[in-house]
Structure 1
Amino acid sequence: MAKTLSSVAQRRIQSELTEWMRSPPEGCCLESCEPMTSWVVVMQGPEGHSRLYADEVFRLRIDFGEQYPLDPPDVVFLAPAPIHPHIYSNGHICLDILYSGNNGGWSPALTMSKVVLSLRSMLASATEKKKPPGDAEYCARVGNRSPKLSRWQFEDDKV
């Protein structure tokens, strides 16, 4: 069932899609954008100083809501999610720019190109592959519901 988008959301998503096609973010390509409200992005693992993810490929799903860009989209890694201290096994990502309210750092000025580059940077700065504390419990509790329904604590700015 297709979502009903505000005219602002429709124009913004179309504008971002056009810009993405003209100049895709480094290491990323758009696998799908049908319907326009749900993108699947293929992301090459970054070749940062640790090279932990350099030979890996990941997929992200971006689901835009009717109030985008005022509200952030749902952004999750599709299985298998990277093993990373801020990425849960169900693909949920603990990164402040993906959330509004409760110390979230979402801004309507962010674009999906900037978001995926931030995610690649987060992977590049990792010093070890490990799951977040409480990964199994979190995944069992929330399942596949929207990560925006979780109460995130953004305390670790090192990774």
Structure 2
Amino acid sequence: MADVLIALGGNVGDVRATFQKAIANICGMTQGVLKARSSDYSTLPWGDEQQAPFINACIEIETALDPHALLFTLHKIESRFGRDRARERRWGPRTLDLDLIAYDDVAMQEPELTLPHPRAFERAFVLVPLAEIVPDRIIAGQSVASALARLSTEGILRLPELS
């Protein structure tokens, strides 16, 4: 079983309800085990700033799927929740974004998949929820907590637990 980190994001619809359903889909469709789930965080849009704030979270799962099958499954789940990668604009609004951040200690660079995620350490909206669940995890030679310490977390707000 591989230890996998996945980032979730979205800013269209009831994102927090989408996360709950998407996580259930991820675990079911990957025959995965949920090891940890971060809180949800409200974050400022990144890239295209003229849109609603995002909600971001991260999960840690164990799965036997290989990285390519896992990525295919994540894209299928995004599509189930209304995401159309072919028609959206880069960094634009979306119902659900699922990013494969790390898969064990695998390093690969292929046209369809780069591991670990090439921009994870540039994005506080990924590192803040990751640091909540796996602060000491080493990815590409550095811990999540040390990578986060180099970034501003301005505009990232932890949301209250859903009841």
- The question of a shared fold, defined as TM-score above 0.5 by the shorter chain, is answered with no
Larger strand proportion of the pair: 2
Relative contact order (C-alpha < 8 Å, sep 6+): which is higher?
Answer: 2
* TM-score normalised by the chain length of structure 1: 0.31
